[in-house]
Structure 1
Amino acid sequence: MKAFITTIIILCSLNLGFSDDWPKWRGEDSSGISSETNIRTSWPKSGLKTVWKISLGSGYSGISVAKDRVFTIYGDSNYENAVALNAKTGKVIWKKRLGYVFKNMFGDGPRSTPTVDGDRVYVISSNGDLQCLSTKNGRKYWGVNVLRKFAGENISWGMSGSPFIWKNLLFYNVGGKKGSIVALDKKNGRTRWVSGNFPAGYSTPITATVGGIFHVIMFTGNHVVGFTPDKGKILWKYKWVTDYNVNAATPIFHDNHVFISSGYRSGAALIKLSANKKQISAREMWTTNRMKNHFSSSILHKDNIYGFHQKRLKCMDFYTSQQKWIQGGFEKGSLLGVDGHMIILGEKGGLAIAELSPESYTQKGYMPLFRGTKCWTVPTLANGHLYVRNETEMVCLDIKK
């Protein structure tokens, strides 16, 4: 028996380095950092090996991976469609029509990322068509257009935040007259509560605990707010006004501090949260115009922020906003973290890996992956594979050692 148990432990440990799913926007913990370790951090000149490559429709929807399936959303000439792919082959397992395709001069199609929760996946189109589907076969359990239901108007560049699940609730920033921040029952789509009076932003919520108070943080069109998940009570708020209400990047919570950043004429801010009994107060620590996350979210590693200041990749101190270094060459890029490194996708299709170090930008691999269309979707890393898409294709790359 001891020999059997030892064998199982060894077999499991051999797979620990590349056995993580990526079930929702910015991964399991919403940090944008993978916990995988057994990856290739120095790339050959030929780049990473392609496992499969498929044609895909329009849009900037992110990629979620759970078990043996890959989920994303794409647009065709008429509709936006949720799709499940075989993670090993890229073949379509099922697809489900959500609603009419969103069309815009900066790119057609969906913007949000599917959220996998158990055997269900939650998806929302750029026009507000929210559906709960079976991960197995795409069967529709329930659906609702949140803009019509809560008397909202679509935002300029389409609904972009991803569905956020906590226990039996689904949260979304609709910004409607009948519901600004809303909570729906994830099992049937019924309204559980509505709260606030904030215009919709483009961001996805996170959770935080301050002084024993667990709450949800949401970056709306004109405030970052914290609220109780069970009733939607606003615990704190911090005003942050951006041109066109484009607050798109996901906030970062660390050590009772919240980092936010926006593009246009805004910048970044650090907010310190303090708990007093059942209330939370928010105090501004600093603001700067040296980090403007237009749409791509930053990541935090060892008290340093790494992110795109418009068309420049930067590293800055989390607590002081001191700039450590700046790097060009990617235009409007996106990034994720893994094993002390960052994987960077430039909007013109260049893919790179570099060290997560405040000392300097040290690149350890590069490959020209796409040409001809914008790459505004952050890559996903799951189970030893890197999933990357542009507006017409998706590629799966082998990144295991």
Structure 2
Amino acid sequence: MRPYTISSIVLLSAVCVTTVVVGEDWPQWRGTHRDAVLRETGLIKELPAGKLQHKWSAPIGAGYSGPTVAEGRVYVTDHGDGNEDKEVERVLCFDANTGQELWKHSYDVNYTISYRAGPRASVTIDDGKAYSVGAMGNFFCFDAATGEILWKRDLATDYNARMPIWGITTAPLIYEDTVIQIAAGEKDACVVAMDRSTGKEVWHALDEHAGYSSPILIKQGDQDVLVCWTGESVSGLNPKNGDVFWSIPMLPRNMPIGVPTPVVQDDKLFVSSFYDGSMLIRLHHDRPAAEKLWHRVGIDEKNTDALHCTA
């Protein structure tokens, strides 16, 4: 596999990286609130003419995870330097100002998935800990500064995972004293919550096939709601115990392939999938409840009768 460099990733987020010491961190997938909003002030509105000068570069292997930035450090995962007999995933940490490698952890992995070029999920940083999950469900909690392993889990084994075709892609989500992860497990364990200090299970939920979309937190009334877009539904769960508040079916036409993170604006939640179309959901502001407004699926080139819209 041909390696790429972290400079090509970081350069696209140059403002975030060059201001990391005094500006806003980007400690998890899609930022602090998982909404892809940069709240930093004093941002440039136009790029300067000519070639942008990057601060540093560091070679890494193949992979799909976006970098995260916290406390002056950059975290990313890759497909490391294995040999012909084994594959290796790595979690890497760099100094955000110099690009110096601060620590790395590598582990053997046996890919049984498509698109084998590395792990998918961004590393989540919270309260001095770094949480990472590999494409086959290898879950680690590290000391974010030193790389010391605090605890680890093999989610695929622990939950007898019904592994998605392209593996585990969803980034860990911190809620209070738990870390929540799409585990793709059987027997009501599509989603699991683990104690963030020990890795011990707190709850598991949903007897559904997993998708690829990372869960988010929203507020409905005074209640925190965990929104999970799985391979079969868009559901709102109680993040404290996994109880289902509401669930709207979104069954796959060919295979689960929902990838983007749900987008929320006011009382609307939107998801969009390659095969299965787009759905708009109305969220109740006063209580944890929701209803489908519409679901539109486009024309399948192999089945021209597939265009439909349901309300």
Same fold, TM-score > 0.5, yes or no? yes
Q: State yes or no: 1:152 paired with 2:143.
A: no
Aligned to 2:126: 117
Aligned to 1:249: 260
Query: Which of residues 231, 234, 246 is equivalent to 1:236?
Result: 246
Q: State yes or no: 1:200 paired with 2:210.
A: yes
Aligned to 2:284: 274
Q: State yes or no: 1:85 paired with 2:94.
A: yes
Deviations 1:165-196 (A, max 9, x none): 10101111222124222111000000111112
Aligned to 2:292: 284
Aligned to 1:376: none
| TM-score, with structure 1 as normaliser | 0.64
Query: Which of residues 25, 38, 42 is equivalent to 1:38?
Result: 42
Q: Per the alignment, in what secondary structure is the counterpart of residue 285 of structure 1?
A: strand
Q: CA deviation at 1:18?
A: 6.1
Pairing of 1:168-317 with structure 2 (within 5 A): 168-178=177-187, 179-242=189-252, 243-263=254-274, 265-274=275-284, 280-289=288-297
Contact 1:164/1:170 (CA < 8 Å) preserved in 2?
yes
Q: Per the alignment, in what secondary structure is the counterpart of residue 50 of structure 1?
A: coil
User: What is the aligned-residue identity percentage?
Assistant: 27
Determine the C-alpha separation between the residues in 2 that align with 1:151 and 1:106.
21
Q: Per the alignment, in what secondary structure is the counterpart of residue 53 of structure 1?
A: coil
- 1 or 2, which has the higher strand percentage? 1
Counting matched residue pairs gives 273
Query: Which of residues 55, 59, 71 is equivalent to 2:59?
Result: 55
Q: Which amino acid aligns with 2:70?
A: A
Deviations 1:256-285 (A, max 9, x none): 22111111x222111002267xx6332222
Determine the C-alpha separation between the residues in 2 that align with 1:121 and 1:182.
18
Q: CA deviation at 1:101?
A: 5.9
Determine the C-alpha separation between the residues in 2 that align with 1:99 and 1:125.
11
Higher mean C-alpha deviation, range 35-44 or range 116-125? 35-44
Q: Which amino acid aligns with 2:270?
A: F
Indicate the structure whose relative CO is greater, using CA pairs within 8 Å and at least 6 residues apart: 1
Query: Which of residues 68, 79, 84 is equivalent to 2:72?
Result: 68
Contact 2:268/2:281 (CA < 8 Å) preserved in 1?
yes
Deviations 1:325-369 (A, max 9, x none): xxxxxxxxxxxxxxxxxxxxxxxxxxxxxxxxxxxxxxxxxxxxx
CA RMSD of aligned residues (A): 2.1
Higher mean C-alpha deviation, range 152-161 or range 100-109? 100-109
Determine the C-alpha separation between the residues in 1 that align with 2:118 and 2:174.
23
Q: Per the alignment, in what secondary structure is the counterpart of residue 288 of structure 2?
A: strand
Q: CA deviation at 1:287?
A: 3.0
Q: Mind listing any 5+ residue stretches in structure 2 that lack a counterpart?
A: 1-18, 299-311
Q: CA deviation at 1:106?
A: 3.4
Determine the C-alpha separation between the residues in 2 that align with 1:177 and 1:16.
41
Q: Per the alignment, in what secondary structure is the counterpart of residue 255 of structure 2?
A: helix
Q: Which amino acid aligns with 2:238?
A: T
Determine the C-alpha separation between the residues in 1 that align with 2:120 and 2:23.
27
Determine the C-alpha separation between the residues in 2 that align with 1:16 and 1:138.
20
Q: CA deviation at 1:117?
A: 0.6
Contact 2:168/2:182 (CA < 8 Å) preserved in 1?
no
Aligned to 1:330: none
